[in-house]
Homo-oligomer: A and B are copies of this chain.
Amino acid sequence: MSHNTFGHLFRVTTFGESHGIAIGCVVDGCPPLIPLTNEDIQHDLDRRRPGQSRFTTQRQEPDTVKILSGVMAHPETGVQVTTGTPIALLIENTDQRSKDYSEIKDKFRPGHADFTYEAKYGLRDYRGGGRSSARETATRVAAGAIARKILPDVKVRGALVQIGPHKIDRDKWDWDEIARNPFFCPDKDSAAFYETYLDGIRKSGSSIGAVIEVVAEGVPAGWGAPIYAKLDGELAAAMMSINAVKGVEIGAGFGAAELSGEENADEMRTGNDGTRFLSNNAGGVLGGISTGQPVVVRFAVKPTSSILSPRKTVDRAGADTDIMTKGRHDPCVGIRAVPVGEAMMACVLADHFLRHRGQVGG
């Protein structure tokens, strides 16, 4: 029962605080003989890295990852491969600027975990949120890069599909657009709109929420498990564990509540390439087990609570006061949640892939 570990056969334990010496993780359960280099991991980390556009925090962190264990040059090929032992990854913190936070040391920032950490632990790391900072998600992305190496035939991709009340036009969905705008937005026109829209929010010192969609293609039928280890249940927990996430849905999601049985249940017909479904309201999961259709998850990210407007709050002594959060923050934290959501999807799938390979019942 760890608070800092997820996964069963593919297990990730993360550590580190926003303004500590380093953050990192231990990936346990990775099969042996999988080629793995620093670059494999760095590539994914760079997609999440802060300071890459004016729409994300200006904190400058190179986020250079170091593999401490679990790999070696293969005795015959010389290619660096996993050995089956735990893979420890380290990312040193460099741009910490702790002094930015000293004045909020004794006040609870509304919408942040300040009050609750203090209630639980009797103290909190006020420097940038400490452990509750989204900085922790860098280690998830690093772990996700390893998960992807275990899943060579599965493609996991995420996209931002809504900022504030503005949803993308799904008919214009083009995965290639994702890399062409700073929002991971698959709809070119919406991306253009978001640029102006977010500039306004950024300049006013405000923030806004977003919705992210993550899709896994290539997952065969039969992964996942019934009852309390359902693929969708574990995806829900994984996505909800991401900072600022307040809702998760699979396939038709909340929309399914409005449908009739005739509209919702995906009919089946045998295609050229085996059994297939005529729609995917299920989001690729029935009874907790994959159907062979794309696995589709969406999650809602609340707006950053760090904003420039003064807010009513209380201090550690219980006195009423006001607070205004300076520091460097994302006007829309949802943007950088895209690679994090992909990483969580990849990790959950890698875990279920390993369970499936053992054909484990239960």
Contact = CB atoms under 8 A, between A and B. Distances in A.
A300 B230 contact: no
Given A136-B227, A254-B254, A361-B29, A289 B116 contact: yes
B120 A68 contact: no
Q: Name the residue in A3, A232, A288 with the highest tally of chain B Cβ atoms < 10 Å from its Cβ.
A: A3
A182 interface: no
Most chain B beta-carbon contacts within 10 A, residue among A8, A72, A112: A72
A341 interface: no
B262 A33 contact: no
A2 interface: yes
A201 B260 contact: yes
A301 interface: yes
A135 B94 CA distance: 30
B105 A11 contact: no
B165 A267 contact: no
| Category for how many chain A residues contact B | 35 or more
Nearest to A126: B75
Nearest to A287: B113
A360 B4 contact: no
Given A4-B227, A225-B3, A267 B311 contact: yes
A192 interface: no
A229 interface: yes
Nearest to A166: B258
Interface in A214-236: 221-230, 232-236
B123 A81 contact: yes
25 contacts: A2-B29, A3-B227, A6-B228, A13-B28, A17-B69, A17-B72, A21-B66, A75-B126, A83-B361, A84-B121, A86-B362, A90-B90, A110-B265, A111-B266, A116-B222, A120-B225, A232-B246, A246-B250, A246-B253, A246-B257, A257-B301, A260-B303, A261-B305, A267-B312, A269-B312
